[in-house]
Structure 1
Amino acid sequence: MKLLSGIDQIRQLPAWRQRRFERFYHTQYRYRVLPLFADVYLVIAFIGTLLFLGGLALNPDAPDIFGTYLIYTAILTGLIAAHRFTRLRRSAPMIVYLVFFNMAVFSYLGYITTGATLAPIVGLFFFISSVGIITLSLLHTSLIILINLSLLVLCTFLAVDSHEVAETLIGILTNWLILMCLVVAPLSAWFLSQFLRNLLALQFLLRDRNRQLSRTLETLKITEERLAQEQKQQALSHMAKGLLHEIMNPLNCASQAVDFASSVNRDSEVAGALTDASTHQKRIADIVSDLIEFSRPVPEHNLETADLRKLVATATGFCRHQLRGVELHINIPDGTLLPCYPSALTQVFVNLLLNGASAVSNSHGHGKIEITAESTDTAHRIWIRDNGQGIAPEDIKRLADPFYSTSDTPDNLGLGLSICQTIMRHHKGSMWITSEPGQWTEVTLTLPKTAARRGG
């Protein structure tokens, strides 16, 4: 069983996601991992140098090389500062090469002056053994090893007689410590680079799956809200069916009484009043009948073609009392015909006009309601805008919920917009509300231009 299987999982992804991983890996490797490893190594190297200088200072028998190592330490300090505060940090692994050359210069100077003894270059080979860990690159590690071996050969020629060069090099390279450093460097580079690649692959997959999970949770939340809304609408439909049937019984009795009074009446003025009463009773009966049908999953009759201006005019007539003192502007092109359930759509306009009248009555200044419509190739759009007190953003999300209302009026049940939403859904249309608190509210109704298929 593999220690990490991130790369195997990456290979199973689509090509475009594999390219995304390569970009992610390059960014993390070059700009986060390598600078961090270099920071750790530089700190360790600096502490080791200080301890070495301390040992030289406390040892009276130590060779007179303290000043040389002070220069080396000063250069190392400058490299640490440059790596921390300049663009050198983003040029990995340039800092490794600079530290290597700084160490190599002073190590091989000691190697030459001491006649090719091993001691001055032991620290350099220890550094090389850690290059694989710092660079995580087999290429850079191999390159530094080749440079170092070339410098070793060159400095050996300078340190000893030519006939002793081969023997000296063999003695150094077969030393178990030197040999171990040369072997450990590439092995650690290869192993750690594979480990890091797999580790970053798992991190990439985890982040990707977290994003997918977040999107799934958001989708579930939206679905849950929609289901809750549908359940509220369903509850409203069940309640409305019983309530509307109860309304129809006394309404039919009242209509029969008016019809009987009309048949026996001989007074012309009373006849006119009875005719008006009969007309309004019929309108109420039509609205109630349509609402009963809308409480069912699918309306039981087909769409009719109606004139939008006439529907709005009928609605404004019903709201004449509430619209007193309100400036009403209607801008609907003549001959705007749309497939709809006329009584139900009239009810939508009535509810929206009543809401608009209530909003402007509670605001300061002159109340105004504008009704505008336009048609495109596929839809009719109707805007109903008032200059009332507006609606807070947190309230807009709940306006279509049954029994939710922003009004404190006791007789306001909060059912108007919920009914409107249901009616628009049966028309395969939509209702959208926008508002600027304290300034205005606008309701946008969108209806398909052609009759939609019947469905739930």
Structure 2
Amino acid sequence: MKILDGLKQVQQLTPRKQRQFERFYSAQSRFRFLPVFADVSLLITLIGTLAHMMTLATQLGPANVPSGLFVYTTILSCLIVAHRFKAVRFRTPLIMYLVFLNMALFSYLAFIKTGGDLTPTIGLYFFISFLGIVTLSPRHTLIMIAINLAFLYAATWAAVPAADVATKLQEVLLNWLVLMCLVISPLLAVFFRRFVRNILALQFLLRDRNRMLSRTLRTLQVTEENLIQQQKHQALSHMAKGLLHEIMNPVNCSVQALQYAKDINEDPELGEAIDDAAAHQKRIADIVSDLIDFSVPHPEHAKELANLTGLINAATRFTKHKLRGIDLEIDVPETLTVPCYPSALTQVFVNLFLNAASALQSQLDRQPAIIHVSTTRDARTLDITLADNGCGIPEEEIRRLTDPFYSTSDTPENLGLGLSICQTILRHHGGTLSISSALGQWTRVTLALPLEADRVRT
């Protein structure tokens, strides 16, 4: 990448990027380059002035150094101090105008006093020669050159007889040093402005490419996390398929044994217990079957229109033992139906109720423990929100809650599969599961389900 190719590369960018570069260049030149250039210029000017005063003091004696030179040096020192304040420092090239006017005034006063001798103005013309470097502006450089010519014209009229003004002006302006300084200053302004713009263009391009690389890296990290997540789900799918046959056989045997016990039982109370046990055995079978069904990308059976209140009530019955001491507020229309896989969606509610109950256990003795279920809907989506006023979840853990085998609980029996399965079930419904929380205050889980189903079994 060549130094002077920066602007060419910027010109190939979009108009919006080019405008961004112009803002970048304006800020960098104003707040970084020009103040530093001005500092260097002021330092060189002060050093040159002090060296000139020491030379005069050595040659003529300290008492013979012109008093005007002390006044000039004092003003220059004040300008250097003023340049440390932001109000002056970042209003370039204000300080250069002030230094130039101070130098021009005292140089041409000496010019007049010596009857048109060019020697007192040599320092001024050296200062003019690097104005283009300090201001990076051909316009401001030409303005100061014009002001200098006006000073020169007025000082010449005051220094020499009127008949000799034209000759004296010609002599000064054709002096090789003066001519070189007046010509080189705007040329340096053009060159250094372009040089600095190219350097800043390269910096802008590098920063832009670094941002693109950072975004690409973040995208790759997210993609890697998604691939890991998919691998976990695939592992979970294979595990569930392997467990199905191992679990279903003893479950079926248990169901048959319970059915036999029911057929020969004559005690009503025992019959009720057998029915309850049979219902739980059926629930186990349904959970395992649903886990296998929803581990595949596309379920083969159609969704059904199910009453949402009925699904929630079923889930509360299954989790009744965990909800003791908790106020369950269900704000759901009784006639609301949703296209879904009923058994799977019931399992989602069961898992969410269990999680909420676990979060509320530490709050039972301090404040009313509440789980609030509500719905909102529009033409296409039904949002089901389960909110609790439990212990909340740290922000850094929320993103990982739906990862398989990740759990915030230390209990050995908690495998960390509940929310991962819930997310999988919601994904096969064409919906989403989102979690928000305030640590120590509340947690809110929102299920977004589409209301338009391509296949619904009634």
The TM-score with structure 2 as length reference comes to 0.91
Deviations 1:169-217 (A, max 9, x none): 3433333322322222122111001111111222222222222222222
Distance 1:98 1:423, change over 3 A: same
Cα deviation for residue 333 of structure 1 reads 0.7
2:84 aligned with 1:98, yes or no? no
Distance 1:374 1:183, change over 3 A: closer
- Residues 439-450 of structure 1 correspond to what in structure 2 (within 5 A)? 439-450=441-452
Distance 1:227 1:177, change over 3 A: same
8 A Cα contact 1:308 1:338, kept in partner: yes
State the SS of the aligned residue for 1:59: helix
8 A Cα contact 2:360 2:391, kept in partner: yes
Distance 1:265 1:86, change over 3 A: closer
Stretch of structure 1 that moved more, 69-78 or 145-154: 145-154
Distance 1:3 1:440, change over 3 A: closer
Stretch of structure 1 that moved more, 18-27 or 62-71: 62-71
8 A Cα contact 1:402 1:418, kept in partner: yes
- State the AA in 2 paired with 1:341: Y
Distance 1:252 1:2, change over 3 A: closer
Cα deviation for residue 233 of structure 1 reads 1.6
Q: Any unmatched runs of 5+ in structure 1?
A: none
Cα deviation for residue 383 of structure 1 reads 1.9
- State the AA in 1 paired with 2:14: P
State the SS of the aligned residue for 1:404: coil
Alignment match, 2:266: 267
State the SS of the aligned residue for 1:299: coil
2:378 aligned with 1:376, yes or no? yes
Alignment match, 1:130: 130
8 A Cα contact 1:241 1:292, kept in partner: yes
Alignment match, 1:301: 301
Distance 1:2 1:215, change over 3 A: closer
- State the AA in 1 paired with 2:424: T
Distance 1:188 1:56, change over 3 A: same
Within 1, Cα distance between the matches of 2:379 and 2:23?
A: 45
Distance 1:402 1:201, change over 3 A: same
Q: Any unmatched runs of 5+ in structure 2?
A: none
2:389 aligned with 1:390, yes or no? no
8 A Cα contact 2:375 2:385, kept in partner: yes
8 A Cα contact 2:3 2:199, kept in partner: no
Distance 1:103 1:351, change over 3 A: same
- State the AA in 2 paired with 1:386: D
- Residues 348-363 of structure 1 correspond to what in structure 2 (within 5 A)? 348-363=348-363
Distance 1:125 1:261, change over 3 A: same
Cα deviation for residue 389 of structure 1 reads 2.9
Stretch of structure 1 that moved more, 366-375 or 402-411: 366-375
RMSD: 2.5
Within 2, Cα distance between the matches of 1:286 and 1:2?
A: 69
Distance 1:63 1:271, change over 3 A: closer
8 A Cα contact 1:338 1:450, kept in partner: no
Within 2, Cα distance between the matches of 1:273 and 1:234?
A: 39
Deviations 1:17-70 (A, max 9, x none): 212222222222234322221122112111221222222222236994521101
Within 2, Cα distance between the matches of 1:28 and 1:17?
A: 16
State the SS of the aligned residue for 2:84: helix
8 A Cα contact 1:333 1:374, kept in partner: no
- Residues 22-37 of structure 1 correspond to what in structure 2 (within 5 A)? 22-37=22-37
Stretch of structure 1 that moved more, 1-10 or 272-281: 272-281
Within 2, Cα distance between the matches of 1:266 and 1:25?
A: 91
Cα deviation for residue 279 of structure 1 reads 4.2
